[in-house]
């Protein structure tokens, strides 16, 4: 939806969280890369919601069940616990109301998987600290004035939000700049500093 697909190193991590043949809703499905991966590798019953009409048409012409819709507005139409997994991949930071969206994900899905770019990463801190400029990185290639990413958070911010909406973190993974998983037993502050992206498996 808002991040270049070539750098979507989080997709495999998301896929690893998903049980085979599960019923999955991918919110912000872009051009369908993740859905296709899940259908081929995990034989899931997959659906998608995508904001851009171009992405939707691309998905449908590739045989994926995707509708045009807005995470902020359209999740309300889904029934409670209609899916085993609801995925919000690299989209949370582009929603108008991340808390409400997270709430909806936990209502619709038995489990929710959320991946997002970590604004607490040392490069971001470095850029702001030494240059006094909003960071423009490979994963966050936009300038402040044209970015669709309006609600950035750090890993610690997200953990706090999970507490607030009553979500239990079942699993979490942070990826460093090379897309490698950061050691499982590292403390949160370490992840928050060196993790470029984070993927959370949540339930309520």
Instruction: Kindly state the DSSP code that residue 115 receives in the 8-state scheme.
Output: E
Q: Note whether 66 binds other proteins by CB under 8 A.
A: yes
22 Cβ contact list (under 8 Å, min separation 6)? 42, 44, 45, 83, 84, 85
Binding other proteins by CB under 8 A: which of 7, 12, 42, 60? Answer: 60
Asked whether the beta carbons of 24 and 105 are under 8 A apart, the reply is no
Kindly tell me which of 12 and 39 has the beta carbon lying closer to other proteins.
39
Nearest distance from C-beta of residue 31 to other proteins, angstroms: 13
User: Around 47, how many Cα atoms within 13 Å sit in the side-chain half-sphere?
Assistant: 16
Residues 76-135 interacting with other proteins (rule: CB under 8 A) = 77-79, 82
Nearer to other proteins, 82 or 179 (CB): 82
Q: Which C-beta is closer to other proteins: that of 77 or that of 144?
A: 77
What's the number of CA atoms in the CB half-sphere (13 Å) around residue 2?
24
* 98, 27 contact by CB (below 8 A): no
Q: Which of residues 26-55 bind other proteins (CB under 8 A)?
A: 45, 47, 53
The answer to whether residue 63 forms part of the interface with other proteins (CB under 8 A) is yes
Nearest distance, CB of residue 21 and other proteins, angstroms:
14
Q: How far apart are CA 124 and CA 195, in angstroms?
A: 11
Q: Which pair of structure tokens corresponds to residue 83?
A: 């899916």
Q: Does 16 bind other proteins (CB under 8 A)?
A: no
Taking CB under 8 A as the binding criterion, the range among 2-10, 73-81, 91-99, 124-132 that sits at the site for other proteins is 73-81
Q: Is 179 in the site for other proteins (CB under 8 A)?
A: no
Residue 144 as a binder of other proteins (CB under 8 A): the answer is no
Rounded to the nearest angstrom, the gap between the alpha carbon of residue 132 and the centroid of all alpha carbons in its chain is 27
In the block, residue with structure tokens 């991949």: 89
Does residue 67 interact with other proteins by CB under 8 A?
yes
CB of 49 to other proteins, least distance (A): 9
By CB under 8 A, is residue 24 in contact with other proteins?
A: no
Would you say 77 or 126 has its CB closer to other proteins?
A: 77
Instruction: Print the SS3 string covering 56-95.
Output: HHHHHHCCCEEEECCHHHHHHHCCCCCEEEEEEECCHHHC
* Cα–Cα distance for residue pair 13/195, rounded to 1 Å: 14
Q: Which residues bind other proteins (CB under 8 A)?
A: 45, 47, 53, 56-57, 59-69, 74, 77-79, 82
């Amino acid at each position: 939806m808002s991040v270049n697909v070539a750098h979507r190193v989080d997709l495999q991590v998301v896929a690893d969280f998903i049980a085979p043949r599960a019923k999955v809703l991918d919110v912000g499905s872009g051009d369908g890369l993740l859905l296709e991966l899940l259908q081929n590798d995990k034989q899931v019953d997959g659906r998608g919601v995508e904001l851009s009409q171009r992405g939707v048409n691309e998905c449908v012409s590739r045989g994926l069940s995707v509708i045009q819709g807005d995470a902020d507005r359209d999740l309300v139409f889904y029934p409670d616990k209609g899916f085993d997994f609801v995925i919000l991949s690299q989209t949370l930071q582009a929603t108008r109301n991340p808390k409400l969206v997270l709430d909806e994900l936990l209502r619709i899905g038995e489990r929710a998987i959320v991946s997002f770019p970590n604004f607490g990463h040392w490069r971001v801190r470095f850029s702001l600290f030494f240059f006094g400029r909003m960071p423009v990185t490979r994963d966050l290639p936009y300038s402040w004035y044209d970015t669709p990413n309006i609600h950035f958070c750090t890993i610690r911010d997200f953990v706090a939000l999970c507490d607030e909406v009553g979500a239990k973190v079942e699993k979490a993974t942070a990826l460093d700049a090379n897309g490698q998983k950061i050691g499982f037993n590292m403390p949160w502050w370490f992840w928050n500093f060196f993790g470029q992206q984070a993927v959370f498996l949540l339930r309520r």
